Structure 1
Amino acid sequence: MSSVSTAAPPGTADASAPDGEAGRITRQLTDFLAGKPDGAGRVTNVRRAGSGRSRDNWLFDLVGPAGTEELILRTDPDGGLIDTDRAVEFEVLRGLAGSGLPTPTARWLDTTGEPFGRPGLIMGRLPGRCDYRVLRDPARPTAEKRELAAAFCDLLAAVHGVDHRALGLDRTLPDPGPAAARAELDRWTAVLRQDQLEPWPELDYAAAVLAEKAPECAARVLVHADFKPGNILVDAGRVSALLDWELAHLGDPLEDLGWVTQPLRSAEHTIENDWTAEHLIAHYEQATGITTDRAALAWWVAFSSYKTAVMQVSGLRAFLEGRADEPYRPTRRVLATLLDATGEPA
């Protein structure tokens, strides 16, 4: 936070605020923060951070009595791959404030959608940038990429090592018990049934096989559920933040490990000819001191492919209903990977 020499009156819009959408967001933020005891200041430098596949983000600064606070407004888009609860994400971020993990500070929550047209939350901005392909960047030295890959794995281990009870996260996130795998499978199958517009026999088959073979887990941990370089900020070659906690829940740590080692995400989490899924698993085991149950991990790898396909079914519906710009749809590669993972010839 940088200091400023003068304080602005509470709830004051930037006089130089742009017209159009940025101007609208500036006015909405000004009105919203005017009603917050700790929201005094001038809203300025509003600009779009881009519409992700699940959120619509606006960066802005709040110039107040104590200085300039760098913030971000995250609102639900009209359509996306997933539908999640802003209040749960907000409470998770608040709980993680004392965890030691590099997470944004949760500042304000809007669950009604009235101030901004859609529900959203405001949180602090952290330095750095995210890059889905950072581990495959040809301009980055291999040694540096391998160091980052190890850092990502250490971060995942740290997430699973969080004492969720001490942080009060168990008051927000229910414990699914030993049947955590079946609980997640049922959750995403319900999403499939809600959003599918046509039969998907491959997904029906996968769901049936996964249900028959669902493993049990001895202890539940905090699961991020969308761990990837695209949700990690890197600043000066070091991890500076882990973002997008909208899918976080209590569950089996192998869920995250299966997500990052599934073939569909190999380009994000591996370094060609240098850092394979096996390297990642070995590093995770060393970081946690836990030996991975490979049979259970294989189930979670298959489930991750299933979850990816269900997300794309939801994205397709959002596109056809005019709520999304891109026509997501399970591709032949996704379905072939899923069927291979569940044991069915593609």
Structure 2
Amino acid sequence: MSDTSIGNTSVSPDSGLAARLAELIAQHLPNARDVSVQGIAPMFGGNARKAWSLELVFQLDGLPQRRPCVMLIQGADRQIETDVAQEFRVLHGLNGKGTRAPAAVAMDARGEIVGAPTIVLERLPGKASAVDFLNSPDPAAARRLTEDLASVVADLHAVDWTPAAFDSALEGLSPREVALRQITHWHDTFLAQRLEPLPVMSGLFGWLYRHLPEPQRICLVHGDLRPGNFLYEGDRVSGLLDWEMAHLGDPVEDLAWIYRPLWSPERFVPLREFVQRYAALARREIAWSDVLYYRVFNELKFAVISLTAARAFITSSTPNMRHADRAATVPPCLNRCLAWAEQHRKETSRV
């Protein structure tokens, strides 16, 4: 690998990368001819991964084609372990299914071409700024955008996935057992990453195990669907981004994550109204107690991610100063969990 690889966004891509990428992409587009990659340029860089834009040029059935793409390169400072190959399989499985997910183009799962695990996706139009959306000077347009998001999520959850086809480990599991795997995953991660006993957090994981609702159905859950992780143009969602945490689970999980307090669109569409709109589109009833349950789950998930980031900084696994005080975000998360757990108790006691 050249010293000027794009695994580090402070330098330019090496001169041979475009040719190597073209060879990789040609393997995924067997009917294409004269494949070339042009105009590789940095888009942004976050903790989890870096994004580069490029133009894919090729011939198909004798006709010239030009496709704008984005290359996502796994970063060293990611807060959670993710599987590029799994993310690519999910997006490839969504190709042509009527969702607003980008088409999967190519994958370098082990980083043999780029220098780090990488996927190449269709580049969709729109912007993803959560700040612009949440501070919109046009609440009516932001409301329509939030309502469209409910439609997008309903369409995503309507895609039929066979658990065993998604992950062989899910074969033969009941819907409840599939949903339980997410609780177990984040609980195990908490136990591995915590820096002190955190008995309240331990107790809240026990609460999750005891109160797990019976899923009405199991579907593909995006896992990180929120402002900042979808593209939009005006009052319409144009694409869903960042599929690293996609998994099979209870669809209510996505609804609750969208409305985490840090990025909630509550001022445009209240959560209850959003859930009602989604339920009407999905043609199923959603118990408010299930929403409260997944608010607790998601807040604990966010707290675990924060603990993972804090441990990475404390153990010198990363020099990123943004992680230095991440553990300070945990107590407010736990306070919210306790409040929602109490609301859940009151809600279920009325049934």
Normalised-by-shorter TM-score class: 0.7 to 0.9
| Kept after mapping to 1: 8 A contact 2:48/2:76 | no
TM-score in terms of structure 1 length: 0.83
Match of 2:292 among 287, 294, 298: 298
Written as runs of structure 1 = structure 2, the 5 A alignment for 1:225-240 is: 225-240=223-238
Q: Distance in 2 between matches of 1:181 and 1:219?
A: 10
Q: Is 1:337 aligned to 2:336, yes or no?
A: yes
Q: Is 1:323 aligned to 2:321, yes or no?
A: no
Which residue in 2 is equivalent to 1:160?
Answer: 157
The structure whose RCO (Cα within 8 Å, separation 6+) is larger is 1
| Kept after mapping to 1: 8 A contact 2:22/2:36 | no
Q: Distance in 1 between matches of 2:214 and 2:177?
A: 5
Give the drift of 1:20: 8.0
SS of residue in 2 equivalent to 1:80: coil
Which residue in 2 is equivalent to 1:45?
Answer: 39
Give the drift of 1:25: 5.5
Give the drift of 1:185: 0.8
SS of residue in 1 equivalent to 2:12: helix
SS of residue in 2 equivalent to 1:216: coil
SS of residue in 2 equivalent to 1:59: strand
Q: Which amino acid aligns with 2:308?
A: S
Percent sequence identity over matched residues?
26
Match of 1:183 among 174, 181, 184: 181
Q: Distance in 2 between matches of 1:261 and 1:62?
A: 36
Q: Is 1:268 aligned to 2:264, yes or no?
A: yes
Match of 1:23 among 5, 12, 32: 12
Q: CA RMSD in A?
A: 2.6
Q: Distance in 2 between matches of 1:341 and 1:29?
A: 51
SS of residue in 2 equivalent to 1:269: coil
Give the drift of 1:248: 1.3
Give the drift of 1:187: 0.7
Q: Which amino acid aligns with 2:166?
A: T
Which residue in 2 is equivalent to 1:100?
Answer: 98
Give the drift of 1:241: 0.6
Q: Distance in 1 between matches of 2:131 and 2:275?
A: 20
| Kept after mapping to 1: 8 A contact 2:296/2:337 | yes
Q: Distance in 2 between matches of 1:340 and 1:146?
A: 27
| Kept after mapping to 2: 8 A contact 1:133/1:268 | no
| Kept after mapping to 2: 8 A contact 1:80/1:318 | no
Give the drift of 1:188: 0.6
5+ unaligned residues in a row in structure 1: which ranges?
1-16
Q: 1:55 and 1:185, CA in 2 relative to 1: closer, same or farther beyond 3 A? A: same
Written as runs of structure 1 = structure 2, the 5 A alignment for 1:1-346 is: 21-24=10-13, 27-35=16-24, 36-37=26-27, 38=29, 40-65=34-59, 66-139=64-137, 141-165=138-162, 170-173=164-167, 174=170, 176-177=173-174, 178-262=176-260, 264-265=261-262, 267-271=263-267, 274-320=268-314, 321-323=316-318, 325=320, 326-327=322-323, 328-331=326-329, 332-343=331-342
SS of residue in 1 equivalent to 2:13: helix
SS of residue in 1 equivalent to 2:76: coil
Moved over 4 A (4+): 19-22, 37-42
Give the drift of 1:254: 1.3
Q: Distance in 1 between matches of 2:22 and 2:309?
A: 33
Give the drift of 1:56: 1.7
What is the count of residue pairs matched by the alignment? 319
Q: Distance in 1 between matches of 2:318 and 2:200?
A: 26
Q: Which amino acid aligns with 1:304?
A: N
SS of residue in 2 equivalent to 1:100: coil
Q: 1:213 and 1:224, CA in 2 relative to 1: closer, same or farther beyond 3 A? A: same
Give the drift of 1:193: 2.2
